[in-house]
Amino acid sequence: MTTTTRPPSGSAAQVEHIPARTASPGRRPLLDVVIPVYNEENDLRPCVERLHRHLGDTFPYPFQITIADNASTDRTLEIAHELSDRIPEVFVLHLGDKGRGRALRAAWGISRAPVLAYMDVDLSTGLGAFLPLVAPLLSGHSQLAIGSRLAPGARVVRGPKRTVISRCYNRLLRVTLRVRFSDAQCGFKAIRRDAARELLPLVADNGWFFDTELLVLAERSGLRIHEVPVDWVDDPDSRVDIVPTALADLRGVARVGWGLASGRLPTQELRARFGAASPARPAGAIVRPRTAGSGS
């Protein structure tokens, strides 16, 4: 059955939702992995098939995969439907407007899974990091988890230009917004649904800055963010247009910085709503695994 609904937070984009057919009726998925796509007819099928095999072999709980199509004009949506018809754990969302943030807001907003994740369709991140990413959220230890290409232990293959841009951007965030997480834009993240329900209405961006805005709000609201060093191989066919994206990110940094300074973003209210931090760690703590040779 196909239904049409509107995504949360007042977005005007229409969403076509194909309900997943679970292999075990009545078993609610504990994990929903969203793959935002725009004109990815070449990569979508092998990506979903590989991810499904990996989760089936390594993830011990019910899961689903949601393909969030951002107004594709090629065969992406057709291929998504074919995958949904063939693989019981696959959802399809079709949005009439572009934007990674818009896709995640819509998909996460209607998901029933207690842990929500997303990853890029190019599978630049090694899938071996998936269980370390979501395990702290399933246990309740952390509210968010992010893959990091800049954390100790990460192994990254990409060109010097993108490396410099990434390091400069994350340095800018540390200086201007005083963040403590190491990598805002890695396309490999997860969040508990209860945290997403509180944070998503406050995130204004529907594009690439969505990730940064979500993480800044989470950290300022006292949520615990778990970082996982990843193996990353850059996709030479990346669709990110660097200059417009960088300018939009700078505008986003200024907007969020003003919102925090002026008190328009209710982070103190959220901090109280989520409760006191653990006595062992300050509110908004960044949790990083120890690497070999680290002290006790």
Residue 79 in tokens: 């291929």
Do the bridges between strand 3-5 and strand 15-18 make them parallel or antiparallel, or are there none, so unpaired? antiparallel
Nearest CA among 86, 84, 50 for reference residue 69:
84
- Strand blocks (E) in the chain: 3-5, 15-18, 31-37, 63-70, 90-95, 115-119, 144-148, 155-157, 188-192, 225-229, 231-233, 286-287
Nearest CA among 80, 99, 83 for reference residue 16:
80
How far, in Å, are 15, 191, 214, 222, 281 from residue 278 at the CA level? 39, 19, 21, 10, 5
Which of 97, 211, 231, 237 is the catalytic position? 211
Radius of gyration of the chain (CA): 18
Q: Is 263 helix (H, G, I), strand (E, B) or coil?
A: coil
Q: What's the length of the chain?
A: 296
- The one-letter amino acid at 36: P
Yes or no: say if 16 and 100 are a contact pair by the CB < 8 Å rule.
no
Q: Is 211 among the catalytic positions?
A: yes
Percent of the chain that is helix, strand, coil (3-state, to 5): 40, 20, 40
Active-site residue list? 211
